[in-house]
Amino acid sequence: MSTEGTTTPRPLSVQRDLPVFKQIEGHHAPTPFFLTTDMLGGLPVELAGAEISNLVDKPVAAPHTHEVPEIYLLLSPEPGGAEIEVRLDGETHTLEAPGALLIPAGSVHCFVTRRAIPGSYCLGLLLTGPGPGEGVRVPRPEPSA
């Protein structure tokens, strides 16, 4: 990468006082958000989630849907340090850390933590799209009759 020439310093964009709590339909308590579409000058994603080691066998949300795709991102200080059970359109899938699972737009989903060492996080990355509420459209197979 070239370092020649002069560059104008870009303004630093920082968000503090995180997380921001929002009430989400289907969730049993206000959800902690680390990114929302109105942060940092406007974002195409929202990121919500929490440390889950104290949430083993405790669902944080009833089955729910979003108009946009969501990615479950499961992180842990050690590989295999956390496992969640994801309910997706009536089927159950197991996700082990580190792992990511795509929730297609419009599908019914929720998760339960099955095990998690301290420092494990389950994050939901909502692909809200270029503007708030516009959404990234990911084709979703029609359910077969």
Instruction: For the CB of residue 129, give the shortest distance to Zn ion in the complex, in Å.
Output: 16
Judged by CB, which is closer to Zn ion: 70, or 83? Answer: 70
Least distance (Å) from Zn ion to the CB of residue 74? 14
Q: Give the binding range for Zn ion (CB under 5 A) out of 37-45, 63-71, 78-86, 131-139.
A: 63-71
Report the helix count and the strand count for the chain, using DSSP H and E.
0, 9
CB of 142 to Zn ion, least distance (A): 21
Q: Which two tokens stand for residue 42?
A: 């406007």
Nearest-CB residue to Zn ion? 70
Q: Following CA atoms 134, 109, 53, 81 in sequence, which dihedral angle do they give, to the nearest 10 degrees?
A: -100
AA identity, residue 106: G
Q: State the Cα–Cα distance between residues 59 and 28, nearest whole angstrom.
A: 8
Contact positions toward Zn ion, by CB under 5 A? Answer: 70
